[in-house]
Amino acid sequence: MTDSVAVAVDANGADHGPAEVARGAAAAASEYGVRVLLFSTSTSELQKQLSARVGQCVLTSPGSACYAGLAGEESLRLGNALRYFGDGWQISKRFGGKHHWRIPVMDGEFVCDATTGLTKQAVGGGNLLIMGRSAQATLAAAEAAARAIEKVADAIAPFPGGIVRSGSKVGSKYKGVIASTNDAYSPTLKGAVKTALDADIASVLEIVIDGLTSQAVADAMRAGIAAIVKLGPKRGAVRIGAGNYGGKLGPHHYHLKDLLP
């Protein structure tokens, strides 16, 4: 799996905006807010996404504030980028050795750390392929795995609810399309393609995992597998697999046999 860069921010507030971001990109939540992890393949793209997503989903949320959640080897602009929303009325403050921005908004003010750290030790794209005899049973197994993964520190399952129905392969028959449906794992195409599915498999769901470290990804995959195994084949999945790209996608390899509970 590929190396990534990642950033963490702590978003606090009363509205559900930050929490909804967290559903797709958060490692931990508490009564007071959520810790949001964002991943990208480059520092420049991570800066772009950080500014856009905090600006759209946290700044807009009533009663919210945003603080750096990661002390990394480099820094990204957080409040330093969002401060311009204050249109000249923003106030720069230093407290406890940290630099904050106070940005006036209609319900009071938005307080935000000036910068946040990033790490280049992050890993993007650990995955589990969950196969079952029915859509309902497969979804039950995937939901159990997603709940278990949510409890693992420093890792996220970034898709809605942590689950992917539209798993993809690299490339396409169409020019310019970089990814397309994973036909080998599409039950309706069993008779038309070289399938990876047994005859009794009627549904496949995927969980993609990003982590601040390779160990975090492995721990999350292990937790997900354990939850699926605990649910059992009668109520859940009958087979667990993972995407195998022949070592071409990145230096990190996770062997499922080594992650069994």
Per-residue pLDDT at 30: 44
Q: Hey, which residues does 206 pair with through a beta bridge?
A: 129, 164
Per-residue pLDDT at 21: 34
Q: Which domains does the chain show, CATH number per domain?
A: 2-119 (3.30.70.520), 121-259 (3.30.70.520)
Task: Categorize the per-residue pLDDT at 15 as very low, low, confident or very high, splitting at 50, 70 and 90.
Answer: very low
Structure-token match 């699926």, residue found:
228
pLDDT, greater one: 115 or 32: 115
Average pLDDT of span 66-90:
93
Say whether 211 sits in a helix, a strand or coil.
strand
Rounded CA-CA distance 174/127 in Å is 26
Per-residue pLDDT at 14: 37
pLDDT, greater one: 94 or 7: 94
Task: Categorize the per-residue pLDDT at 237 as very low, low, confident or very high, splitting at 50, 70 and 90.
Answer: very high
Per-residue pLDDT at 4: 53
Does the structure show a pLDDT above 50 at 17? Answer: no
pLDDT, greater one: 171 or 85: 85
DSSP string, 153-185: TTEE--SGGG-BSS-EEE--SSTT--EEE-GGG
For the stretch 20-59, pLDDT in tens is 333 333 333 445 688 889 998 889 999 999 999 999 999 9
Per-residue pLDDT at 5: 63
Task: Categorize the per-residue pLDDT at 16 as very low, low, confident or very high, splitting at 50, 70 and 90.
Answer: very low
pTM > 0.95: yes or no: no
Query: Angle at Cα 3 formed by Cα 117 and Cα 220, nearest 5°?
Result: 85
With beta carbons less than 8 A apart as the criterion, state whether 35 and 29 touch: yes
Q: Which residues contact 158 (CB under 8 A, 6 or more apart)?
A: 24, 25, 39, 208, 210
Per-residue pLDDT at 244: 75
Does the structure show a pLDDT above 90 at 71? Answer: no
Q: Which residues contact 195 (CB under 8 A, 6 or more apart)?
A: 184, 185, 189
Report the largest interatomic distance among the alpha carbons of the chain, rounded to a whole angstrom. Answer: 65
Average pLDDT, the chain: 87
Average pLDDT of span 214-239:
96
Tokens of 70: 């990661």
Given 3-state DSSP classes, what are the helix, strand and coil percentages for the chain, each rounded to the nearest 5?
Answer: 30, 35, 35
Structure-token match 């690299």, residue found:
170
AA identity, residue 95: F
Q: Hey, which residues does 155 pair with through a beta bridge?
A: 211
Average pLDDT of span 87-95:
96
For the stretch 141-187, pLDDT in tens is 999 999 999 999 999 999 999 999 999 988 899 999 999 999 999 99
Can you list the alpha helix ranges (DSSP code H) found in 58-133? 79-82
Q: How far is CA 259 from CA 35, 117, 143, 222, 246, in A?
A: 26, 30, 19, 5, 19
Per-residue pLDDT at 70: 87
